[in-house]
Amino acid sequence: MFLMRRPAVSGRLPKLMDSDQQAALEQAWALLADGAAKRRHAMHTPVLAGVTAEGLPDQRIMVLREAAADLALLRLHTDARSPKVTQLDRRPVHVLAYDAGAAIQLRIEGKGRIERAGRRVEAIWAEATCFARRCYLAEAAPGTVRVTPGSGLPPEVEGHQPNEEQLVPARANFAILLVEVSAIDWLHLANIGHRRCRFERNGTDWSASWLQP
């Protein structure tokens, strides 16, 4: 856990809603936390959407690394040179996740925040495996036009696990993306009747409204 929790709430959501809404919001955050923790979980790889400088929608799958309910924060990792960094940093971000087993769709609104340096980023970098850190050794930025197909990794680490010394230049290309969640549209599909609820975060509290699914 790299997102610092405030002891007063310690992972519990404040109660401002009816009990069904409270349960739905807790379930949404539990699914996201499970998604972050389990590689095979349906919510491990949500879709993150933003808007390009030309005003066009743009989306991509990313690995969810952490979900902190009490802070309403999601954490993901990216190449600091990637186009999504300028697209999502301090700008609106939309996250879409669906768990078919739970029959729950989450449509999450928030604001992105890119961190390239600082104690949190250093700690996350230090904990990542050598294979995970290897991605950030690519010589060109993601999206750069290539003459031939390829990973862009230096030949000495292509297909091999790099050592700590080889990984030194990769650190400058690593960044984390935090999504400050401001609203969640929760949809539950069920034969007895679908349910949909919109949650909005006001300061540290949440409000909820049932919606026609």
Ligand X SMILES: Cc1cc2nc3c(=O)[nH]c(=O)nc-3n(C[C@H](O)[C@H](O)[C@H](O)COP(=O)(O)O)c2cc1C
**Which residues contribute to the site for ligand X (CB under 6 A)?**
45, 60-63, 76-79, 82-84, 142-143
Q: How far is CA 122 from the centre of its chain?
A: 18
Q: Which residue, 31 or 76, has its beta carbon nearer to ligand X? A: 76
- In the complex, minimum distance from the CB of residue 48 to ligand X, in angstroms, rounded to a whole number: 8
| Residue whose C-alpha is closest to residue 93's, from 173, 176, 178 | 178
Q: Which residue, 68 or 176, has its beta carbon nearer to ligand X? A: 176
- In the complex, minimum distance from the CB of residue 165 to ligand X, in angstroms, rounded to a whole number: 25
Task: Please report which helix (H) or strand (E) contains residue 28, including its range.
Answer: helix 19-37
Asked if 98 and 104 touch (Cβ cutoff 8 Å), the reply is: yes
Q: Is 121 helix (H, G, I), strand (E, B) or coil?
A: helix
- In the complex, minimum distance from the CB of residue 212 to ligand X, in angstroms, rounded to a whole number: 33
Sign of the alpha-carbon dihedral angle for 22, 13, 200, 95: negative
- In the complex, minimum distance from the CB of residue 130 to ligand X, in angstroms, rounded to a whole number: 17
Q: Which residue, 60 or 195, has its beta carbon nearer to ligand X? A: 60
Q: Which residue, 77 or 94, has its beta carbon nearer to ligand X? A: 77
What is the DSSP pairing of strand 73-79 with strand 64-68? antiparallel
Q: Give me the residue label for tokens 């990216």.
A: 78
Q: Which residue, 5 or 60, has its beta carbon nearer to ligand X? A: 60
- In the complex, minimum distance from the CB of residue 182 to ligand X, in angstroms, rounded to a whole number: 22
